[in-house]
Amino acid sequence: MKTLKNWYLLFLLSFSVFSQGFSQRKIVIDDPNKAVGIGREIEVFEDKTALLDFEEVHKRSDIDARFTQSIQPSPNFGVTASVIWARFTLQNKSTQKLYLEVSEPVIDSIDIFRIDANNKVTHKKSGVYVPVSQRDFHTNFYLFDLNLSSEQTCTYYIRFQNSLPMLFPLRVAPLKVYFEDNHSKDLMQGIYLGIMLIMAIFNFFIYFTVRSKEYIYYVVYVLSFACFFAYNKGIGHEFVWNNALWFNRITPIFISSGVSFGLLFANTFLDADRYFQASQKITKSLIGLIMICLISHWLGLGSVSITLLHFVAFFIVIYVLMIATYIWIQGSQTALFFLIAWSVFLVSTLIFIMQLSNILPSDNFTRNALQVGSALEVVLLSFALAYRINSDRKERTKYQAEVIQQLQANEQMRSRIARDLHDDIGSTLSSIGILSQVVENQMGKSSDSVKDMVRKIGESSQKVQRSLSDIVWTTKQTEDNFDNVLVKMKEFTSEMLEMKDIFYNFNSDNLPDVKLSPSKQYNFYLIYKEAINNIVKYSNADEVTIDLNHQDDSLILNITDNGIGFDENNIKTGNGLSNMRKRAESLGGEMEIHSKSMGGTKIRLEIPVE
């Protein structure tokens, strides 16, 4: 019995010591004109099981003993699957009611338990999965009414749980202090989002001018970061999807999209494939890792997937920096602008990730480093894109000048070839024709076979001379106007048919302005020449009708003669019909030939034109 009494007295003494020890950690607020950060004044306990409830944490002496004094102004536990408990006693010596601000908008679950002087417990719940309408105040941060009037003292337990990095800056102040203090912060957030949106819209319109995909990558990259910070600062949850709580589960896609499209933009903007062939494969692999992290997060591997995502994101920033440096060393001035912008982003990313990982303290500078760095980077990258546009314009101007110079040189060469063909070979063939006629006249009573051979020489030289004239005309032809072809067709028709006393009728009076490329003009003309030649050589016709008209975006040529015709199933070789068909196919058109013995021949050619 005596032993039991001693154990009872020891228990009371221990309880008294614990109670007295905790009651001495009292935070006194006596200045109604400023916010007091209480991060170093609270006690914290990490529940690695994430299973303890308030009753256990509050009443179990073994748990009470595991609470330790916080040493950080803004308690930061990094990415953790644990539940973090914080406790403190607050005494209000000011003349106004006090409120608690948790200055971290992205926390999955916050439970506040208030114990008043009569040991009465009240409970409030908040977090990203609690609608804004159910909070004490509709703000982007978490602001709680402590129900602590002047000269009142209460004890508070706060339970924090988060799948993202666990940090919770705590401040206590009257309501008007928060309004005055956060007003300037809201202005800065508005400026940041304004810069990001302006840059995105501006470069989106540039994309429609230059049609280069890196501008689309850049726009998505900028918008992704704008959405990420709208989420990270609680703006999106407050104003955009305040009641769509499910949306908070997919918000890691913002940072994943930003990093992925930033990598795609860098790869395209720097033309990395040109300098480093493996860049495309590396880019796809890194984006694949990001997708794995994202899917893992949605499957419930919160802390592991987020830690891996931070690692992959930081590796991508380092990788892009190395690639940009290498390309700059190779002589790309565009890479220098990119390198400067990306270096700023690298420093800010390093600071932000080290803050999230609890390597650096969480304060206003470290929490906003990435936001400031991304804004500076976006502005600097816009200058880099402008420099890229200017460089591309100069290169295009230079290339156009070179093309014009080459075209002028080609035109001079074409003219020289045409002139040489006409003046040298043409004159030589003409001389052959004249000499053959002179020989034929001077032979007098020579044999008919010799005369016939000389006559054929003259005809062949004239045929070659006409063909050469057509080649010279084709070489000089650079316009798509069909009028020049029409003139050539009429000249050839007159020359060939009138020589054989063949009456002809050429109808093209209703032909509108037709556009046809020089090469198509040449093929069309050769088909026509072959048709007329066949009539002269084989048809024995004395009348020919030629109709040329335009109908339904097609040019239609009909040639009809009243000659002896031929058997379509027994076409002789050497009449050029197969060549005519091939040329018609090259023009994208169709050619039809209808003939019968002693019934004349009709040729119909239809080709598409503009």
Check: pTM over 0.75? Answer yes or no.
no
Residues 195 and 166 grouped into a single domain: no
Q: Which of 61-65, 277-281, 299-303 holds the top average pLDDT?
A: 61-65
Residue 286 domain-assigned?
Answer: yes
pLDDT: which is higher, 551 or 391: 551
Task: Summarize the chain as % helix, strand, coil (round to 5).
Answer: 60, 15, 25
**Domain of 585: which CATH number?**
3.30.565.10
Residue 110 domain-assigned?
Answer: yes
Tokens at 137, concatenated: 């105040």
Please check the confidence at residue 24 and state whether its pLDDT lies above 50: no
Structural domain containing residue 50: 23-173
Residue 212 domain-assigned?
Answer: yes
- pLDDT at residue 43, rounded to an integer: 93
**Alpha-carbon distance 317 to 347, whole Å?**
10
Last residue of a domain, one of 173, 201, 232: 173
Q: What is the rounded average pLDDT of the residues 491-518? A: 83
Residues 162 and 237 grouped into a single domain: no
Per-residue pLDDT reduced to its tens digit, 534-550: 888 888 888 999 999 88
Least confident of 4-13, 178-187, 420-429, 495-504: 4-13
Per-residue pLDDT reduced to its tens digit, 25-70: 688 888 888 888 888 889 999 999 889 999 999 888 888 889 999 8
Tokens at 104, concatenated: 């971290």
Tokens at 571, concatenated: 């076409």
Tokens at 595, concatenated: 């003939």
Residue 243 pLDDT class (50, 70, 90 cuts): low
Residues 28 and 62 grouped into a single domain: yes
Least confident of 536-545, 563-572, 597-606: 563-572
**Domain of 256: which CATH number?**
1.20.1070
Q: What is the rounded average pLDDT of the residues 597-601? A: 84
Residue 10 pLDDT class (50, 70, 90 cuts): very low
Per the CB < 8 A criterion, the answer to whether 451 and 440 are in contact is: yes
**First and final C-alpha spacing in the chain:** 116
Last residue of a domain, one of 109, 142, 173: 173
**Alpha-carbon distance 519 to 463, whole Å?**
22
**Helix-then-strand count for the chain, H and E:** 17, 18
Residues 168 and 225 grouped into a single domain: no
Residues 278 and 319 grouped into a single domain: yes
Residue 269 domain-assigned?
Answer: yes
Residues 233 and 113 grouped into a single domain: no
Residues 209 and 249 grouped into a single domain: yes
Residues 314 and 386 grouped into a single domain: yes
Q: What is the rounded average pLDDT of the residues 384-392? A: 74
What 8-state DSSP symbol labels residue 572?
Answer: P
Residue 461 domain-assigned?
Answer: no
pLDDT: which is higher, 450 or 510: 510
Residues 157 and 210 grouped into a single domain: no
Residue 263 domain-assigned?
Answer: yes
Q: What is the rounded average pLDDT of the residues 77-82? A: 84
**Alpha-carbon distance 589 to 609, whole Å?**
10
Per-residue pLDDT reduced to its tens digit, 468-493: 666 666 655 656 677 878 888 888 88
pLDDT: which is higher, 78 or 18: 78
- pLDDT at residue 159, rounded to an integer: 95
Residues 265 and 378 grouped into a single domain: yes
DSSP string, 350-374: HHHHHHHTTSS--SHHHHHHHHHHH
3-state SS assignment for residue 95: coil
**Domain of 80: which CATH number?**
2.60.40.2380
pLDDT: which is higher, 234 or 20: 234
pLDDT: which is higher, 326 or 390: 326
Residue 249 domain-assigned?
Answer: yes
Residue 442 pLDDT class (50, 70, 90 cuts): low
How many distinct structural domains can be found in the chain? Answer: 3
Least confident of 11-25, 144-158, 170-184, 466-480: 11-25
Residues 363 and 497 grouped into a single domain: no
CA torsion 342-343-349-351 (nearest 10°) is: -170
Amino acid at 46: E
pLDDT: which is higher, 25 or 136: 136
Last residue of a domain, one of 403, 426, 454: 403
Per-residue pLDDT reduced to its tens digit, 328-354: 888 777 788 888 887 887 788 778 777
Residues 72 and 32 grouped into a single domain: yes
- pLDDT at residue 228, rounded to an integer: 80
> What are the CA-CA distances from residue 426 to residues 104, 124, 415, 423, 476 (Å)?
91, 104, 15, 6, 16
Residue 462 domain-assigned?
Answer: no
Q: What is the spatial order of strands in the sheet that 590-595 belongs to?
A: 503-507, 543-551, 554-561, 601-608, 590-595
